[in-house]
A and B are shown apart, each in its own frame.
Chain A
Amino acid sequence: MKVSELVNELGLKVFSGEKGLDNEITGGYVSDLLSDVMGNARDGQVWITLQVHQNVMAIASLKDMAAIILVKGLEPNENTLQHSNNENIPILGTGLSTFEISGKLYELLNR
């Protein structure tokens, strides 16, 4: 599934990184601990988090992740947006909690 399909299916807001909307999704990873993501996330995963600072993008880029979803209506910092546009990794947003959006993503990817 492509990131753009995920956006449509889950009604996500696209903050940045539009050029990466064709990125192919291999799965999801949920964590707010950056070392956990660094150590355990895999390429092509969508990362669900509440962290909004630019180190999130540094990690997403180093790990070749497909996209980031920010939960609970949180918005990325300005420098996070710029980094996302440079790396073509979309930052998406939802008003839902981590629990709810993770459930929906899991269901969608396993449909």
Chain B
Amino acid sequence: MRLSFKIEGGDFTQAGQASSEVKKVLKQLGIDAKTIKNIVIALYEAEVNIVAHAYRGTIDVEIDDKKITIRLTDEGPGIPDIEMAMKEGFSTASKKVREMGFGAGMGLPNIKKNTDLMDIKSTVGVGTELIMVNYF
């Protein structure tokens, strides 16, 4: 099964819609509750990252009987130092984003903790690609 979503940078009203949709589908498929929780946490963080940092992005979800693979690609400023971005507490979020309670530097670490595989590639000035896999 495949699902696809588009995200606009800066549009916080839409943040979480893809996560909500994926959560519903996984529930319908009877996936174990703990696994769904992990996937939802990781996907929500990844969605918010695109909204908070990129200009626009797409989410492609592929579900088979063993795993879910989620690929998020964005057009945006990219991440100059991924190792630094993976550190808990490090954030480049704007003041406005921080005032909303985002930008605590917990997003990428939360994704890492809640996925079985996480791969992130970024080109400064072009964008970022994040692939997350969770096994059922």
- A and B assemble together: yes
The chain A residues found within 8 Å of chain B, CB to CB, are: 32-36, 38-39, 49, 51, 53-56, 58-59, 61-63, 79
Question: Which residue on A lies nearest to B102, using beta carbons?
Answer: A34
Question: Are B102 and A35 touching (Cβ within 8 A)?
Answer: yes
| B101 and A62 contacting across the interface, CB-CB below 8 Å | no
A34 near B100 with CB under 8 A, answer yes
A62 to B23, CA, bound (A): 8
B16-A59 in contact (CB<8A): yes
* CB neighbours of A35 from chain B (8 A): 45, 48, 102, 104, 106-107, 110
Mark out the residues of chain B between 5 and 41 whose CB falls within 8 Å of any chain A CB in the assembled complex: 12-13, 15-17, 19-20, 23, 40-41
Chain A residues whose C-beta falls within 8 Å of the C-beta of B110 in the assembled complex = 35, 38-39
For the complex, would chain A's binding face be called helix, strand, loop or mixed by DSSP majority?
helix
- Given B13, B104, B107, which contacts A79 in the complex, CB threshold below 8 Å? B13
Contacting residues, chain B, for A36 (C-beta < 8 A): 104, 106
28 contacts between A and B (CB under 8 A): A32-B101, A33-B104, A34-B48, A34-B101, A34-B104, A35-B45, A35-B48, A35-B102, A35-B106, A36-B106, A38-B41, A38-B44, A38-B45, A39-B41, A53-B100, A54-B12, A54-B13, A55-B16, A55-B102, A58-B16, A58-B44, A59-B16, A59-B44, A62-B16, A62-B40, A62-B44, A63-B40, A79-B13
